[in-house]
């Protein structure tokens, strides 16, 4: 058994065949967590999860990219990652109500994203402050509901770690459980997240060598397997074994195989431990 801890079958890329994709997923003994990025996709994730007795779950949250309207183009990493965002204000009560559904297992994906920076210093500070304020509100929601968090972070690990440290002090050092989805930080940042008790989500990005980026394969070798989750981020970040295709949860096996190779262990061991990790974190 494998668990794809982060997919977006609730996105438009799957609007025509989500049922078939999920059938393939479950038939291959793979469970999946559908992750929201704004209210509409969070609601859709819950609706999909409700159709299945087990094996399909939902996470709800407002992604930092959806705080502003813009065109997103990450085609340099993934040809499918080109879309438009719609500006949304975080409505605590609406998300809180949605989170009452028993199929909701996490608040996410939430966090900080500094990739698209405003050009002026004033706008940049406003941009960062709005993201931090929204992030803190969602961390508070997770604490209120005793749910783990799925964290998105891009070019903002220093601020994210600082924010987590601040809120943990406010909570009298109570632990915030969660996973750093699609970890892109360096080894020093990984160690800081470890100290905070977080898991690390890895997907098809680990097959890529990006100029100026950390060597994530080396980081995986040093991380304890008991702190690793596997994911696809479908429909994005397709592993090279299926290059050019839309990513989907059944391809999470390639990520598991690569991690087994890097950790000098078996696929069965990686499947066992990462599944156990996901089940413990998300209480599924």
- For residue 249 the two structure tokens come to 């949860």
Please tell me whether 8 is known to bind a ligand.
yes
Question: How far is Cα 79 from Cα 75, in angstroms, rounded to an integer?
Answer: 4
Cβ contacts of 29 within 8 Å, gap of 6 or more: 1, 2
- Strand partners of residue 151: 110, 180
Please tell me whether 126 is known to bind a ligand.
no
Q: For residue 275, what are the CA distances in angstroms to 44, 230, 231? A: 25, 9, 11
Please tell me whether 6 is known to bind a ligand.
yes
- Assign 151 to helix, strand or coil: strand
Angle at 63 between CA 162 and CA 149, to 5 degrees: 60
Contact indicator for 258, 212 with CB cutoff of 8 Å: no
Which residues are annotated as part of the binding site?
6, 8, 109, 152, 181, 233
Which residues are annotated as part of the binding site for a divalent metal cation?
6, 8, 109, 152, 181, 233
């Amino acid at each position: 058994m494998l668990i794809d801890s982060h997919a977006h079958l609730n996105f438009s890329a799957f609007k025509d065949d989500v049922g078939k994709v999920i059938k393939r997923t479950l038939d291959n003994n793979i469970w999946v967590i559908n992750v929201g990025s704004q209210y509409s996709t969070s609601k859709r994730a819950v609706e999909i999860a409700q159709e299945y007795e087990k094996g399909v779950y939902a996470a709800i949250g407002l992604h930092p990219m959806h705080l502003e309207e813009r065109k997103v183009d990450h085609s340099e990493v993934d040809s499918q990652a080109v879309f438009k965002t719609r500006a949304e204000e975080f409505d605590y009560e609406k998300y809180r109500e949605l989170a009452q559904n028993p199929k909701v297992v996490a608040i996410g994906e939430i966090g900080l994203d500094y990739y698209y920076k405003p050009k002026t210093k004033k706008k940049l500070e406003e941009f960062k402050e709005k993201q931090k304020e929204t992030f803190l509100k969602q961390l508070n929601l997770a604490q209120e509901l005793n749910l783990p968090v799925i964290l998105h972070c891009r070019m903002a690990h220093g601020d994210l770690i600082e924010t987590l440290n601040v809120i943990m002090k406010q909570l009298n050092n109570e632990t915030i459980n969660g996973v750093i989805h699609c970890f892109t930080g360096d080894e020093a940042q990984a160690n800081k997240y470890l100290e905070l008790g977080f898991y690390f989500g890895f997907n098809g990005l680990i097959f890529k060598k990006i100029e100026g980026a950390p060597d994530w394969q080396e980081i995986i070798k040093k991380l304890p397997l008991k702190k690793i989750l596997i994911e696809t981020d479908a429909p994005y970040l397709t592993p090279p074994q299926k290059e050019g295709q839309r990513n989907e949860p059944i391809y999470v096996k390639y990520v598991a195989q690569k991690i087994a190779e890097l950790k000098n262990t078996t696929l069965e061991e990686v499947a066992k431990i990462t599944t156990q990790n996901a089940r413990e974190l998300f209480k599924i």
